[in-house]
């Protein structure tokens, strides 16, 4: 099959498997390698040391999978029209890694069937040393927004990215060259912790998603209040984006629908229930969920911060009991939360 015909067939197979966007990029040196190096040098990766360990491969996607020459880059929408809440939209349902990897591996099987030659390949969904946004822009899927997310003119940015690296010479799509953010700076202005230090530059160590998910230690005291009632992750810089206001999609993938434990609970209720959870209850509530990444101790830490920010006298008892939690991390944040309530003359 001709490279152009095969490329079109592959993209059609991707759409048939529920992906909302599909494009093809040729592997090679990353266009954003210099910016990536500068980001690391400024310490903006924080404690995410795994990013620096795989830096060489991130700079050149040809080094990730031996013999790979092309990337089929896909996106799957997770419902930007869903209401905001204490848990970021992406993390309310089944773990997107599992959902997308299964479908990318199925896509690889389809490629092997339609191709006239043996095909080797490997799928990645936010799990390997790849600058996914770089490949996605090169595959024509969108531009880098000032909030650092990839934005597509038809979908906005509430979607996951995945890549299937294969040892085929496929016709690449035209890269997305336009910058459609214009003079808008709503995302920079809306960030409660000023994590967007300049357009398209994120200091992860100030980002609420990093603080509530990736950070394993204590949340810096000066950043606890700005977190507000966000328990896990943050959507603020996406929710305020005009492209999402206009083009975000309704949730259509059942796998990403909110799990039962989260339905109908405001931030205070969810935080109180989290603080009293056992490990067994945590495992049951968040089975196959992205939320498990922060572990129970991290989620309890976040819950204490939530109650310190929006709690009432009714929350003093659960915070007091958390002072006896086996984890020092939880005890520390519970003590901070109680002090905050007292400072507001609550209790």
Question: Is-catalytic flag, 126?
Answer: yes
Helix H or strand E segment including 25: strand 21-26
Residue pair 250/330 in contact (Cβ under 8 Å)? The answer is no
CA distance 8 to 165: 16
Alpha helices in the chain (DSSP H): 3-16, 33-41, 49-53, 55-59, 96-114, 132-138, 186-190, 208-209, 221-227, 236-239, 242-247, 267-275, 279-285, 295-310, 316-322, 328-343
> Is there a contact between 81 and 249 (Cβ–Cβ < 8 Å)?
yes
- Annotated catalytic residue: which of 126, 167, 229, 332? 126
Distance CA 296, CA 331 (A): 13
Instruction: Single out the residue of 316, 78, 344, 120 nearest to residue 335, CA to CA.
Output: 316
Would you please indicate which residues are annotated as catalytic (active-site) residues? 126
């Amino acid at each position: 099959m001709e490279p152009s015909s095969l490329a079109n067939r592959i993209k059609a197979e991707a759409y048939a498997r529920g992906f909302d966007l599909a494009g093809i990029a040729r592997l090679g040196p990353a266009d954003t390698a210099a910016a990536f190096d500068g980001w690391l040098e400024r310490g903006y990766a924080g404690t995410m040391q795994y990013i620096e360990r795989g830096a060489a491969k991130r700079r050149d996607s040809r080094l990730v999978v031996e013999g790979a020459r092309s990337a089929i880059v896909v996106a799957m929408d997770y419902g930007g029209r869903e209401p905001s809440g204490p848990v970021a939209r992406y993390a309310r349902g089944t773990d997107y890694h599992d959902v997308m990897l299964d479908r990318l591996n199925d896509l690889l099987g389809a490629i092997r069937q339609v191709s006239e030659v043996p095909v080797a390949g490997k799928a990645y969904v936010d799990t390997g040393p790849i600058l996914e946004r770089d490949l996605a822009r090169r595959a024509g899927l969108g531009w880098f927004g000032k909030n650092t997310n990839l934005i597509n003119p038809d979908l906005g940015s509430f979607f996951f990215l995945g890549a299937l690296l294969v040892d085929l010479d496929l016709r690449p799509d035209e890269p997305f060259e336009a910058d459609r953010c214009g003079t808008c700076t709503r995302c920079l202005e809306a960030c409660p912790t000023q994590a967007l230090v300049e357009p398209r530059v994120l200091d992860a160590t100030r980002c609420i998603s990093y603080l509530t998910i990736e950070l394993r230690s204590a949340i810096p005291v000066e950043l606890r209040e700005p977190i507000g009632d966000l328990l896990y992750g943050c959507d603020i810089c996406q929710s305020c984006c005009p492209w999402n206001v206009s083009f975000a999609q309704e949730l259509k993938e059942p796998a990403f629908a909110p799990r039962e434990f989260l339905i109908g609970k405001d931030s205070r209720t969810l935080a109180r229930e989290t603080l009293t959870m056992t490990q067994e209850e945590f495992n049951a509530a968040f089975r196959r969920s992205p939320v498990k990444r922060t572990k129970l101790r991290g989620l309890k830490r976040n819950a204490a911060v939530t109650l310190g920010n929006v709690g009432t006298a009714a929350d003093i008892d659960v915070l007091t009991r958390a002072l006896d939690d086996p984890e020092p991390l939880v005890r520390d944040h519970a003590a901070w939360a109680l002090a905050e309530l007292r400072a507001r003359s609550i209790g």
